[in-house]
Amino acid sequence: MADNKNTLSKSDRLKVCLRSQFLQASWNYERMQNGGYAFLMIPAIKKLYKEKTEQIAALKRHMEFFNTHPYVAAPIIGVNLALEQERANGAPVDDAAIQGVKVGMMGPLAGIGDPVFWFTLRPILGAMCASIAMDGNMLGPILFFLLWNVIRLGFLWYTQEFGYKVGGRITENMSGKLLENITRGASILGMFVLGALVQRWVSIKFAPVVSSIQLSKGAYIEWDQLPAGGEGIKMAFQQVASGMSLEPIKVTTLQNNLDALIPGLTPLLLTLLCMWLLKKGVSPIIIIIALFAVGIVGHLIGLL
């Protein structure tokens, strides 16, 4: 890349990285993060393309659909910077190649961002800093703010730089297997993480009662027989630990039977149904509205 006439300097790439903080500022339901993506590419486009018509065409390229986790977008941005740089210097990189990188990487990487940042890193930092704050030390929230942003900004910059450096090799090996292997590996990892989190993210509970059985004495806690105060609470905990029921009637719902059969079966089936509908070309908005309608009607009739 050193021989290229139009080269993005570190200062140019830093401007792009800083603008990536606003990736979701113009989020919309049609193309989602496309406005923010086009906005962050402006410094690079202005540097690489001198003609107004070329700049307009480049902006239009990046107004296509884009949506991923805002942090893991950084390596995709870096690869696109490298591709735009190669194109500006005469390399045979067309619009389809640039958009293909975005589409091929945004989905798999999105499945990595939430578990790593929202469900792992932030809870760990939050718990650590909250323990400091609970002692009355105001350093707790300040430390959380500093640590979170240092990690976040450092990750954005270094992964964008990684994508930028790898981007040149992707253009050189576009006819080979490099890009295919990268996207396939990210897809496998992303789908594995998403599959493991289906039961956590999707919740379905069927309310119909299958059976209601009166328990015999000794099988449940007799609350009116417990002593008052702390001694009664202690005894209740001991009885629960020994396997006694909280209520004299054991109620078994349809959901209990399904969970006994295969835990998480219904969330998995619903997820697969939504994936099948999306594959058939059904609009995501229609699926969302349908899920709302089914949930409301199911609750009103006592099914959910």
In this prediction, residue 302 carries a pLDDT of: 84
pLDDT at 142: 93
Rounded Cα gap, residues 7 and 44, in angstroms = 9
The pLDDT score that the predictor gives to residue 197 is 67
Q: How many CA atoms lie within 13 A of 6 on its CB side?
A: 19
Could you write out the DSSP letters of every residue in 54-110?
A: HHHHHHHHTTS-B---TTTHHHHHHHHHHHHHHHHTT----HHHHHHHHHHHHHHHH
Position 68: which residue type?
T
Question: Do the bridges between strand 209-214 and strand 249-253 make them parallel or antiparallel, or are there none, so unpaired?
Answer: antiparallel
Q: Which residues of the chain have pLDDT under 70?
A: 1-4, 168-197, 200
> pLDDT at position 43, please?
94
pLDDT given for residue 35 in this prediction: 93
Q: What is the pLDDT of residue 161?
A: 92
Q: CA-to-CA distance for 52 and 287, rounded, in angstroms?
A: 41
Phi, psi angles (nearest 5°) of residue 177: -115, 5
pTM, full prediction = 0.59
